[in-house]
Chain A
Amino acid sequence: MMCEFFNSFCADPVNAIGGWFVLLPAAVLLLAAAASVVLRNLIHAALCLTLSFIALGVVYLALGAEFVGFVQLLVYVGAVAMVIVFAILLTRPDELERSRSFFSGFGPAGGTAAALATLAVLLGAIFTSPTGDRPMPPAVPVPVADLGKALMGDYVVALIVIGVLLTAALVGAAVLAMEDEP
């Protein structure tokens, strides 16, 4: 198997690497995610989290999901990461200290329990999923136009509900931030 790969690599390295390329961003994703949990410096952790968002976008792209990959970059790197960073900068260090003393007793235990519970749910979903038994369908890039038609056709109710929810959130944020008239 290794020899076969070696031969195809010599004949056409670009094509041979193509299928394995996804492993690189996946490795970066895992490392960055782990670093964002382990690092003590909050800003470094936030930047590592941003890196993992980027790597996830690249994983989507490597798997042929062009639209989702770009939206991942646009929303998570452009907006969510910045909101996280702003939240950290606007939190005063003494508040941080207090919250740490409150959680310090059962922080690690609680975190481990939550992580294990999430892992159990995910593993359960993966192992009971019927897709595992089926053969992998060939990766067909979905045209963006079809995606739009699906959103506006089959899933239009979900789209409108999310739109209403976001509008409500936006109005709420504006009301909270509004200055009181003198």
Chain B
Amino acid sequence: MNLLERAPIELKAWLLNLLGSFGVPDWALAIISALLIIGTVIGVFLGLFALTSVMERKILARVQNRLGPNRVGPFGLFQPVADGIKMITKEDLVPRGADPIVHFLAPVVMMVPALLVLAILPYGRDMMPVELEAGILYFFAVGAGTEVAVFMAGWGSNNKYSVLGAMRAIAQMISYEIPLVLSAIVAAMIAGSLMPGAIVAAQGGFAFGFVPKWFVFTPWGFTAGLIFYIGALAESNRSPFDLPEGESELVAGHLTEYSGFKYATFFMAEYVGMFAICGLFVTLFLGGWQAPLPFLEIIPSWCWFFGKVCFVAFTMIWVRATLPRLRIDHLLAFAWKFLLPMSFAAFLAAACWHYAGRGAVGWGLSLVIVAVPYLALGTSFTRRFAVSKRTYQFSE
């Protein structure tokens, strides 16, 4: 069991020792070691992307009482291979009016932050590619590059749907980034560190011997976690927040003028970004690589991490299958008028929980602090957006 737990690390050490015995100098070994980590992380996430692209269609089909892809390979599992061949062989169209450099660079710029943020996630015990002191901050700082890429794609295509889609996407990303960062800060505040590894370590252990001390099992952690989850959905432009590319009104938003492998690159970046933010969610609130029950610790930590990430990704697909798309003004109002005050409440509740001794008193106090604004905001919202007869301003 211990061997399995440390298997990836031991394997790398063995490989480096082998190379070292052939007389490879130390500085080259350092570079090879880094390349091994980078290659593994990228390979694992691209594999996950390929698997998810077919599983998502299968799950959506199951929800909608269809079969889904089932022609290529057993259960349609080789569908990603067929999709890949199709994407590579498709014609790469660049509109005549497009800005060729910006149009070409947009998918490249999109891919860079999606891959870079994978560096700071703790994938298991002692399995963290880069240990940065401000790891959480790094995640959001690098993630900001996505907005630039979306704008470049929208403007470079020289298409009104692209520009409108990009404007919507950027407005949505900027609005939802604030509750996202604020709810992440709550976890960092209680752990007392911006290092993802320290945040996971702070969630170790079990209360009463069987309840894991994950942040999501406290009132403030549950609130912040839910806000973070909603923000993560919006940041990765997934349904019900996928109206930047709402096909009923905008064709495909900033992706309208992309085809072939450039489109595939966008698609890939979106999915890798989704997995990265799921990984951060797991790290911040779901205990990272910690096992949920004491006797389950025999299963290696990295299995727990990827299992939890896949579970969170599954819930995102489930949400996509279930919920209709929001309207843009409702979407922005929800971010600014509901999520933002609620994340402040979670912030306050976490502080009270900490200063009340992190015990039962703190638990009750933080529950009250979270519940009161929730009920107040909730009732005011229901009254405000109550269903009424629709009046049209410009038609009829």
Interface residues of A (CB under 8 A from B): 11-15, 43-44, 47, 50, 54, 57, 66-67, 69-71, 73-74, 77-79, 81-82, 85-86, 89, 141, 143-145
Which B residues are in CB contact (< 8 Å) with A69?
141
Known: A14-B31, A89-B167. A70 touches B134 (CB 8 A): yes
Q: How far is the CA of A53 from the CA of B147 in the complex (A)?
A: 14
The CA-CA distance from A47 to B144 in the complex, in Å, is 14
- Residues of chain B lying within 8 A (CB to CB) of residue A57: 141
Which residues of chain A are near B141, meaning CB under 8 Å? 57, 69-71, 73-74, 77-78
The answer for the CA separation of A15 and B26 in the assembled complex, in Å, is: 12
Residue of B nearest to A142 (CB): B133
A12 touches B148 (CB 8 A): no
Verify if B151 is at the interface (C-beta below 8 Å from A): yes
Can you offer 9 A-B residue contacts whose CB atoms are under 8 A? Answer: A14-B30, A66-B133, A67-B134, A74-B140, A78-B140, A78-B177, A82-B174, A89-B155, A89-B163
What would 11 more interface pairs be, CB under 8 Å, given A78-B140, A144-B194? A43-B155, A50-B148, A73-B144, A82-B147, A82-B151, A82-B170, A141-B133, A144-B133, A144-B134, A145-B192, A145-B193
In the bound assembly, the distance between CA atoms of A102 and B192 in angstroms comes to 55
Are B142 and A73 touching (Cβ within 8 A)? yes
A74 contacts B31, CB within 8 Å? no
Checking A47, A77, A79, A141 against B102 with a beta-carbon cut-off of 8 angstroms, the contacting residue is: A47
User: Which of chain B's residues have a CB closer than 8 A to the CB of A82?
Assistant: 147-148, 151, 170, 174
Contacts of B26 on A, CB cut-off 8 Å? 12
Give Cα A74 to B170, complex, Å. Answer: 14
- Contact mask for chain B residues 167-183; partner A; CB cutoff 8 A; 1 contact, 0 none: 10010001001000000
Say whether B190 faces chain A, with CB atoms less than 8 Å apart: no
Q: A43-B155, A144-B134 are in contact. Are A14 and B27 (CB under 8 A)?
A: yes
Distance, CA A74 to CA B177, complexed state (A): 11
B151 touches A85 (CB 8 A): yes
Residues of A close to B128: CB separation below 8 A? none
Answer whether residue B374 sits at the interface, using C-beta atoms and an 8 A cutoff.
Answer: no
Cβ contacts B133-170/A at 8 Å (1 or 0 each): 11001101111110110011001000000010001001
A43: chain B residues at CB < 8 Å are 99, 102, 155
- Report Cα–Cα, A82/B170, bound state, in Å: 8
A69 to B142, CA, bound (A): 11
**CA gap between A82 and B152 in the complex, in Å:** 11
Contact B132 A66 (CB under 8 A): yes
Can you name the residue of chain B whose Cβ is closest to the Cβ of A14? B27
Choose from A12, A77, A143 the contact partner of B145 (Cβ within 8 Å): A77
- On whether the beta carbons of A70 and B27 are closer than 8 Å, the reply is no
Nearest CB of chain B from residue A130's CB, rounded to whole Å: 31
Find chain B residues with CB under 8 A from A74 CB: 137, 140-141, 144
A67-B137 CB under 8 A given contacts A74-B144, A78-B147: yes
Q: Which B residue sits closest to A77, measured CB to CB?
A: B144
Docked-complex contact B27 and A13, CB < 8 angstroms: yes
Q: With a CB–CB cut-off of 8 A, which chain B residues contact A66?
A: 132-134
Taking CB atoms and an 8 Å cut-off, the chain B residues in 181-224 that contact chain A are: 192-194
Per the bound structure, the CA–CA distance linking A44 and B145 in Å amounts to 16
Known: A70-B141, A71-B137, A143-B133. A47 touches B152 (CB 8 A): yes
Q: How far is the CB of A73 from chain B (nearest CB, A)?
A: 4
Q: How far is the CA of A89 from the CA of B193 in the complex (A)?
A: 40
- The minimal Cβ–Cβ distance linking B348 to chain A, given in whole angstroms, is 16
CA distance A143 to B137 in the complex (A): 14
Is B27 a contact of A78 with CB atoms below 8 Å? no
Measured CB to CB, the closest approach of chain A to B136, in angstroms, equals 10
Instruction: Looking at the assembled complex, report how far the CB atom of B261 sits from the nearest CB atom of chain A, in whole angstroms.
Output: 23
- Residue of chain B at shortest CB distance from A12: B27
Residues of A with C-beta under 8 A to B194: 144
Chain A residues in 8 Å Cβ range of B177: 78
State the Cβ distance, A74 to closest chain B Cβ, in Å. 4
- Nearest-neighbour CB distance to chain B for A181, whole angstroms, equals 13
Q: CA–CA, A79 to B181, complex, Å?
A: 14
Distance (Å) between the CB of A122 and the closest chain B CB? 27
Which residues of the other chain, B, contact A13 by a CB distance below 8 angstroms? 27
**Minimum C-beta distance from B19 to chain A (A):** 16
* Cα(A79)–Cα(B144), bound, Å: 8
Residues of B308-356 at the interface with A, using a CB-CB cut-off of 8 Å, are none
A79 pairs with B174, CB closer than 8 A: yes
Closest 8 A/B residue pairs (Cβ): A78-B144, A73-B141, A70-B141, A74-B141, A70-B137, A77-B144, A12-B27, A14-B27
A98 → B minimal CB distance (Å): 23
A16 to chain B, nearest CB (A): 9
Q: Which residues of A contact B144 (CB under 8 A)?
A: 73-74, 77-79
**Which residues does chain A contribute within 8 Å of B152, judged by CB atoms?**
47
